Structure 1
Amino acid sequence: MPRFAPLPDRRPAIVAGASAGIGEATAIELAARGFPVALGARRVEKLEDIVGKINAGGGEAVGFHLDVTDPNSVKSFVANAEEALGEIEVMVAGAGDTYFGKLADISTDEFDSQLQIHLVGANRLATAVLPGMLERQRGDLIFVGSEVALRQRPHMGAYGAAKAALVAMVNNLQMELEGTGVRASIVHPGPTKTSMGWSLPADLIGPALEDWAKWGQARHDYFLRAADLARAITFVAETPRGGFIANMELQPEAPLTTAPQERRQLKLDEEKLT
Structure 2
Amino acid sequence: MTTTVPSTSRTGKVVLVTGASSGIGEATARLLAAAGHRVVLGARRADRVAAVAEEIRADGGTADHRELDVTDLAGVRAFVGAARESYGRVDVLVNNAGVMPLALLEELKVDEWNRMIDVNIRGVLHGIAAVLPVMREQGAGHIVNVASVAGHRVDPTAAVYCATKSAVRALSEGLRQESRDLRVTVVSPGLTRSELTDGISDLGMRAVAEDMMGIAIPAAAIGEAIVYAVNQPAEVDVNEIVVRPTAQS
User: Do both share a fold (TM > 0.5)?
Assistant: yes
Higher-Rg structure is 1
Give the match for residue 269 of structure 1. none
Shift of 1:254: 3.1
State the distance in 1 between where 2:62 and 2:87 align: 9
The equivalent position to 1:119 in structure 2, one of 100, 108, 121, is 121
Length-normalised TM-score, structure 2: 0.89
Residues paired across the two proteins, number: 238
Q: Within 5 Å, which residues of 2 pair with 1:198-209?
A: 200=200, 202-206=203-207
The 1:207–1:193 alpha-carbon spacing in structure 2 relative to 1, beyond 3 Å, is closer
Q: Within 5 Å, which residues of 2 pair with 1:1-274?
A: 9-177=11-179, 179=180, 181-197=181-197, 200=200, 202-206=203-207, 221-254=214-247
Shift of 1:9: 3.4
Identity of aligned residues (%): 32
Shift of 1:39: 0.2
State the distance in 2 between where 1:16 and 1:73 align: 12
Shift of 1:208: 6.1
Contact 2:93–2:142 (CA under 8 A) maintained in structure 1: yes
Length-normalised TM-score, structure 1: 0.82
Unaligned runs of at least 5 residues, structure 1: 1-7, 211-217, 256-274
* Deviates most, 70-79 or 86-95: 70-79
**Corresponding letter in the other structure for 1:239:** Q
* Deviates most, 14-23 or 188-197: 188-197
SS at match of 1:197: helix
The 1:106–1:70 alpha-carbon spacing in structure 2 relative to 1, beyond 3 Å, is same
- Indicate the RMSD between aligned Cα atoms, in angstroms: 2.1
* Deviates most, 11-20 or 189-198: 189-198
* Deviates most, 45-54 or 196-205: 196-205
Contact 2:197–2:210 (CA under 8 A) maintained in structure 1: no
State the distance in 1 between where 2:51 and 2:116 align: 28
Contact 2:70–2:126 (CA under 8 A) maintained in structure 1: yes
The 1:53–1:208 alpha-carbon spacing in structure 2 relative to 1, beyond 3 Å, is closer
Once the two structures are superposed, residues 17-55 of structure 1 have per-residue CA deviations (whole angstroms, 9 ceiling, x without a partner) of 000000000000110011101000010101111111111
Shift of 1:79: 1.4
Unaligned runs of at least 5 residues, structure 2: 1-9
Would you identify which runs of 4 or more consecutive aligned residues in structure 1 move more than 6 Å? none
Contact 1:67–1:73 (CA under 8 A) maintained in structure 2: yes
The 1:151–1:79 alpha-carbon spacing in structure 2 relative to 1, beyond 3 Å, is same
Shift of 1:226: 0.4
SS at match of 1:126: helix
